[in-house]
Structure 1
Amino acid sequence: MKVFLFSFLMVSACFHSQFLESYPEDQVSYTGGDTAFYKDFHQILKDQNISPCENKEEMYELKLVVYEDATVKIVKEQNAEKLERNKCTYEIIKKVLPEMTGWNPAIYQDKKMPAVAEFPIYLNDLFDKFPNGYAASKYIKQPEFPGGLQKFRNKFTGAIRIPNLDHTNGEFTLRIAFEVNEQGQMENVRLLDKTGYDRFDASIIKGIQYMKYKWQPGSLHGIPIKTTLKVPIHFTFH
């Protein structure tokens, strides 16, 4: 019998051990995906007869690390005020997670690795009115850049300073990832693809960090949330 463990030892958001910041696109952190995660969460609420929070608008952005042995640890919330606002939801999460047994370690280069998984928890969706096939992602409004995504691409390509690269021609597409926080600011910029030219890769990251434009943040039921975006950018060299 496989035993699944849960630890309440909080993981610092800045921990230094090697881990993946997100799951590979063809893998899921929970068997059956987000739909199964929320279904199991809902069932545990019922089985344990857990009462809803008094504040129906509480929403906690659960972020945790799934380790190689299928144990999980919550990533420590850095915003104490946000944690206090959603304290009831957070305490319920701590009751429910130890009962959830569907965790899958990430596989990267044929090796199990710790990886970050994220689940927005809007508890009011998960009690009596829980709909079949529910996943929070179905109710999330994505962030919007003023003028649209193409405007962002144009602003981005104008912001980067491309270094001289020998023997470089042709065209390729890179995917960049970043988070848009609750205030509409970009954070945690990273490349999902590498070019093999370190100076070029660094110039892309620096270009995005240089951009000070604000987004309209994503939201769940009208509540601003931190959202991860993955944006393809096309380059042509002659």
Structure 2
Amino acid sequence: MKKAFILLSVLSFLIHDAQLSKVAELNHTYNQQAKEISEKYQKVYNIERKKEEVKIIMDRLDGYELAIKEIQKAEKKVDVMIYQSQVTKQPEYETGINGFRSLISHNFDTDAVTIEGGVARTIARFLVDENGNVSNVTAIGDYREFNLLTIITLYDILNKGKWKPAEYNGIPVRSVLSVPLTMQFE
């Protein structure tokens, strides 16, 4: 049974890593297309340019959504709400919640955000299992792209730190952590 769990964990990591590689390819393609549009129109901002920019942005977001679905396909789905009340001690990130927020902000691709002159808010939720592993990442907020980029960022940083699981009367248990995120864009 332990070998099966280890094999499943390795397989899940490989799928996760492959999907993040697709995200990197998607970002490269998007940046190349954006550069071509910029060169094509130079300093001219018209309706045709805007249509082309919107199309590549929407294609990129669709690609993010597909990558997230593939990552999550390999995860064991759980009803995260049942873990909300079964803890006496919350999960802790190795450098604290501020360290975790800092890791998110340093790895969030702000260049990928097209929100102009506003505040984007989302609530990221994820399961921290009894071994400190993270899965079932979601983000709910007003902007689709901000939500998708938040999920991509969280999956990207999963291997950059360790979580100490929540406890119920001293026993490690699964729990759901909610992290509100806000960014100001000008």
Match of 1:149 in 2: 97
Q: Which has the higher strand share?
A: 1
> Shift of residue 162 of structure 1?
2.8
Alignment partner of 1:118 out of 82, 86, 94 = 82
Match of 2:154 in 1: 208
The answer as to whether partners of 2:93 and 2:100 remain within 8 angstroms in 1 is yes
1:85-141 Cα offsets, whole Å, 9 max, x none, are: xxxxxxxxxxxxxxxxxxxxxxxxxxxxxx875269xxxxxxxxxxxxxxx64x611
Q: Which runs of 5+ in 1 are unaligned?
A: 1-77, 79-114, 121-135
Any idea what SS the aligned residue of 2:94 has? coil
Superposition CA RMSD, Å: 2.5
> Shift of residue 151 of structure 1?
1.2
Q: Distance in 2 between matches of 1:233 and 1:117?
A: 20
Q: Which amino acid aligns with 1:184?
A: G
Q: Which amino acid aligns with 2:124?
A: I
Alignment of 1:231 with 2:179, yes or no, is yes
> Shift of residue 218 of structure 1?
0.4
List structure 1 runs of 4+ shifted beyond 6 angstroms. none
Q: Distance in 2 between matches of 1:188 and 1:119?
A: 13
Match of 1:13 in 2: none
Q: Distance in 2 between matches of 1:168 and 1:230?
A: 26
In the alignment of these two chains, the number of paired residues is: 107
Match of 1:177 in 2: 125
Q: Which has the higher helix share?
A: 2
Any idea what SS the aligned residue of 1:168 has? coil
1:65-89 Cα offsets, whole Å, 9 max, x none, are: xxxxxxxxxxxxx7xxxxxxxxxxx
Alpha carbons of 1:220 and 1:116: their partners in 2 closer, same or farther (altered >3 Å)? closer
The answer as to whether partners of 2:121 and 2:182 remain within 8 angstroms in 1 is yes
Normalising to structure 1: TM-score of the pair?
A: 0.40
- Counterparts of 1:84-99 in structure 2, within 5 Å, are none
Any idea what SS the aligned residue of 2:82 has? strand
Q: Distance in 2 between matches of 1:190 and 1:116?
A: 11
Which has more radius of gyration? 1
The answer as to whether partners of 2:141 and 2:147 remain within 8 angstroms in 1 is no
Q: Which amino acid aligns with 1:160?
A: F
Q: Which runs of 5+ in 2 are unaligned?
A: 1-75
Q: Distance in 2 between matches of 1:231 and 1:184?
A: 16
- Counterparts of 1:1-238 in structure 2, within 5 Å, are 117-118=81-82, 137=86, 140-166=88-114, 168-197=116-145, 200-211=146-157, 212=159, 213-238=161-186
Any idea what SS the aligned residue of 1:141 has? coil
State the percentage of identical aligned residues.
25
Q: Which amino acid aligns with 1:202?
A: L
Q: Which amino acid aligns with 2:135?
A: E
Any idea what SS the aligned residue of 2:163 has? coil
